[in-house]
Chain A
Amino acid sequence: MAKSKTNGVNGGETVIRVRGLVSGFHGVSVLKGVDFEIKHGEVIGLVGASGGGKSVLTRSLIGLLPKWSGSIEVFGRDLDKIEERERQAIERRWGVLFQGGALFSSLTVRQNVQFPMRENLSLSNRLLEEIALAKLEMVGLHRDVLDKMPSELSGGMVKRVALARALALDPEILFLDEPTSGLDPISAGDFDALIMALQETLGLTVFMVTHDLDSLYTACDRIIALADGKVIADGPIETMLEAEHPWLKSYFHGARAQSRSGAAA
């Protein structure tokens, strides 16, 4: 399912390359040699059993967890071989949406979205206000939420505000950790549509960890399946459906998947 990449400025260029990644925590290796590549403009879905290393992989990619061996290249630069300044510059080129939103609870919605811009860019106050509102409107929120505190928001709104914050610096790569978990199917569908629209508008490369079959079918160009610390399948949804690995079989042909493909047919 090739999608048209409207903003495909440098289409086909590899933005993330992971080679032989080994990582884990508390002395237990969770990832045992993971290899994959992500090209510019792709929407990647990462699936895997609970405890199979999805979070470890994501956290290693964004540098929250030290890796044990292997290499991670982002925008063609090996993250081990660059200096702190360059690393920070690269970190500004990606946005992360955490599972629980991770909004700063002492700041209002407006301040949350403005925070990365205020710290990294020199924008006038008027521009800050306008861009923050534009971002919030892009993720489908109304201006009434501007002065609310995160504790006053519903789960879906928290995810949207967190997405607006992740998009604040116009990132090139967007990491999403279970973006649709905890949302009702309608909101989850909207969220998928939103991600796709933004992907197209802003020319994003999206890496999402998800359990949501609907997201995998509708939003993802390619799926990477992780089991026992290794990539067991990598390809579009058709590859997953044909895969022989027992976990993938039960995942994509289980009762819930059956009803999904039945509905789609």
Chain B
Amino acid sequence: MAAEALLHVRVEGRRLVLDAAGGWVAARASEIEALVEGVFRKRPAVDAVEINLTHLERLDTVGAWLIERLRRAAGDAKLYPEIVGIDPRFKVLLDEVAISNKEPPHPHPRKGALIDFLEHVGIAVAEVGKDLSSIVQFTGEVVVASGRVLLAPMRLRFTSIVHHLDRVGFRAVPIIVLINFLIGAILAQQGIFHFRRFGAETFVVDMVGILVLREVGVLIVSIMLAGRSGSAYTAELGSMKMREEMDALRVMGFDPVEVLILPRLIALIVALPLLTIVGSLAALVGGGLVSWVYGGFPPEVFLDRLREAVTLDTIKVGMIKAPFMAAVIGLVACVEGLRVEGSAESLGEHTTNSVVKSIFLVIVLDGFFAVFFAAIGV
């Protein structure tokens, strides 16, 4: 349907007659809007406006609104608009749009880019403060709940702990073994490649052993669990909160922290050290294998060197960090889960925050431990 005229404009004496014709429907809205806007662009030399709808064939809300806009434009120009020839089937719709949009819709609030930027920075800084206070507050709640459980151990949800242990611990074993094996292998390969220049290949064993047992093993496992289990905790708790499941627990007289969060935290605190042992062993196997195949010293030599290089302290330093890492990951994941609000977007945002923050805090914590152990000379 090409150029059938939608709006005839003609002047009859001191009257402007606007003849709407054809289909005033959404599909042709841009054409109609241009015509409507064109009519009063320069003030016509008339005293009155007549809008004639006799030839209108079809009308929908968009079309009806554009007729109303035409009428209002004429009214604003003090041209006493009059609509004639209204088909009864269009009347209700025209009456309906006549009472809408009395005030223009408010524009989107727009500030300058600089103000926006400063506002964001301010909000972010305030968020950091809120984060800290909510983590502290939440830790308090967890301690109180643990205290209650310690006084009445029957309240501990053993089944739930085992269930979560299976999810975050046992089922994570394959991926943890694989990743740590690869990391151990890469460390050994790089070590051999660079130490060879000084003829110090055998020190690769010292490096791999100490690095894996003190730092890398626990860090890799923590980061994996933050991504794998922390995110799951946040998403679960968040969607439970969205569906008012937490409120349901509370009104039945249960404490959500005790029922939902404590088992998850305990499971994580038990699972992470265990996975660290498994992961570190896998990394040492990876390192050993590369030393054998690529570096050319057999497993007996590797084990001998390892026994000399690594003391029990090295292992203790690595292992002692594991439960703290687990606690940080668990606390951050649960806090973020409890802060989820109504929308799906909020759930996604808090899940992302959970992973990013827990990985960040794990690394910061590791730094503090490094400083601490250096100070006490271990």
Contacts and interface: CB of A to CB of B under 8 A. Distances in A.
A118 B97 CA distance: 20
Interface string B58-94: 0011100110010000000000000000001111110
A131 B62 contact: yes
Contact of A150 (B96, B105, B343): B343
A134 B101 contact: yes
Contacts of A133: 100-101, 105
Contact of B100 (A123, A138, A169): A138
A39 B330 CA distance: 59
Interface stretch (A6-14, A66-74, A178-186, A220-228): A6-14
Contact of B30 (A123, A149, A167): A123
A162 to B, nearest CB: 15
A146 B105 contact: yes
Given A124-B29, A134-B61, A201-B96, 10 more contacts: A105-B342, A121-B29, A123-B33, A127-B62, A137-B101, A146-B105, A150-B343, A170-B25, A170-B62, A201-B93
B123 to A, nearest CB: 17
A167 B25 CA distance: 14
Nearest to A169: B26
A91 to B, nearest CB: 15
A130 B101 contact: yes
Given A105-B345, A129-B105, A170-B60, A134 B29 contact: no
A2 to B, nearest CB: 17
B341 interface: yes
A265 to B, nearest CB: 32
Nearest to A121: B26
A261 B321 CA distance: 73
Contact of B103 (A105, A106, A135, A143): A143
B9 interface: no
Contacts of B90: 7
Contacts of B346: 151
A200 B89 CA distance: 9
A65 interface: no
Interface in A1-54: 6-9
Interface string A162-176: 000001011000000
Contact of B342 (A7, A149, A170): A149
A264 B114 CA distance: 64
B173 interface: no
A203 B29 contact: no
B33 A124 contact: yes
Nearest to A132: B105
B100 to A, nearest CB: 4
Contacts of A203: 89
Nearest to B108: A147
A202 interface: yes
B99 interface: yes
Contacts of B27: 121
Interface of A: 6-9, 105-106, 117, 121-124, 127, 129-135, 137-138, 143, 146, 149-152, 167, 169-170, 200-203
Contacts of A143: 103, 105-106
A135 B61 contact: yes
A249 to B, nearest CB: 37
Does more than half of chain B's interface fall in helix, strand or loop, or is it mixed?
helix
Interface in B334-368: 341-346
A120 to B, nearest CB: 8
Interface residues of B, number: 32
B345 A131 contact: no
Contact of A6 (B30, B60, B65, B92): B92
Given A7-B89, A8-B89, A137 B62 contact: no
B88 A6 contact: yes
Contacts of A106: 343-345
B92 A200 contact: yes
28 contacts: A6-B88, A8-B89, A9-B89, A106-B344, A121-B26, A121-B27, A121-B62, A123-B30, A127-B66, A131-B65, A133-B100, A133-B101, A134-B61, A134-B97, A134-B101, A135-B61, A137-B99, A137-B100, A138-B96, A143-B103, A143-B105, A146-B106, A149-B343, A151-B346, A200-B92, A201-B92, A201-B93, A201-B96
B106 A134 contact: no
B60 A105 contact: no
Contacts of B105: 129-130, 132-133, 143, 146
B24 to A, nearest CB: 12
Contacts of B97: 134
Contacts of B33: 123-124, 127
Given A130-B101, A135-B61, A137-B100, A123 B26 contact: yes
A170 B26 contact: yes
Contacts of B25: 170
Contacts of A151: 341-343, 346
Contacts of A123: 26, 29-30, 33, 62
A263 to B, nearest CB: 30
A146 B109 CA distance: 12
Interface in B295-349: 341-346
Interface string B98-129: 01110101100000000000000000000000
Contacts of A127: 29, 33, 62, 65-66
